[in-house]
Amino acid sequence: MFGFLSRNKQEEVRKIFQNRMNRSFLRQFRYGKRLEPRGAFCEVVWVIPYDADAERPEYESVIAAVTKDISPEGLSLVCDSPLDHERVVVGMERSNEMTYVLCENCHTTSLGYGYFQIGLHPTEEVRVPKLDEQQMRAMLDSGHTRPESILEPSAGVH
């Protein structure tokens, strides 16, 4: 039974990512050419570390990151340091609201010059209280985030 519930949650987030892809790649669909299962997807997203012990997001540690690509099975980000958490919540703007997806940190690949590609696998959609969302938005808008709590320092990068 629990496996069934987990698959349903994964299917929900696959649909979220697939809808994002469909909107981003609409031009390719018009011409009937949709060859790649993954496509370029450049957008600023919110990355919120997930405290596994407390089983809750650490809203006060939100950072902004840039996506690289997306597929129904995952999302990759480009960051200036590797993520230091096994799980994170990714917030994506959708129309006039945010969508939040809990993701597993699958891999980190050095891109050189102090940048890293972070591969994430979505597991389920999560709800974030409006007050926490407003506080995170204010932190990101003001530039007062604490990236040291989510990112580990890159060796040799200052």
Q: What is the 3-state secondary structure (H, E, C) of the chain?
A: CHHHHHHHHHHHHHHHHHHHHHHHCHHHHHCCCCCCCCEECCCEEEEEEEECCCCEECHHHCEEEEEEEEECCEEEEEECCCECCCEEEEEEEECCEEEEEEEEEEEEEEEECCEEEEEEEEEEEECCCHHHHHHHHHHHHHCCCCHHHCECCCCCCC
Give domain status of residue 15, yes or no. yes
Give domain status of residue 13, yes or no. yes
Give domain status of residue 127, yes or no. yes
Give domain status of residue 156, yes or no. no
Task: Quote the pLDDT of residue 34.
Answer: 45
**In the chain, how many domains are there?**
1
Tell me which residues of the chain have a pLDDT lower than 50: 1-2, 29, 31, 33-34, 36, 147, 149, 153-158
Which domain does 45 fall in, by range? 2-149
Give domain status of residue 123, yes or no. yes
Give domain status of residue 158, yes or no. no
Task: Quote the pLDDT of residue 25.
Answer: 55
Give domain status of residue 155, yes or no. no
The CATH number given to whatever domain includes residue 27 is 2.30.110
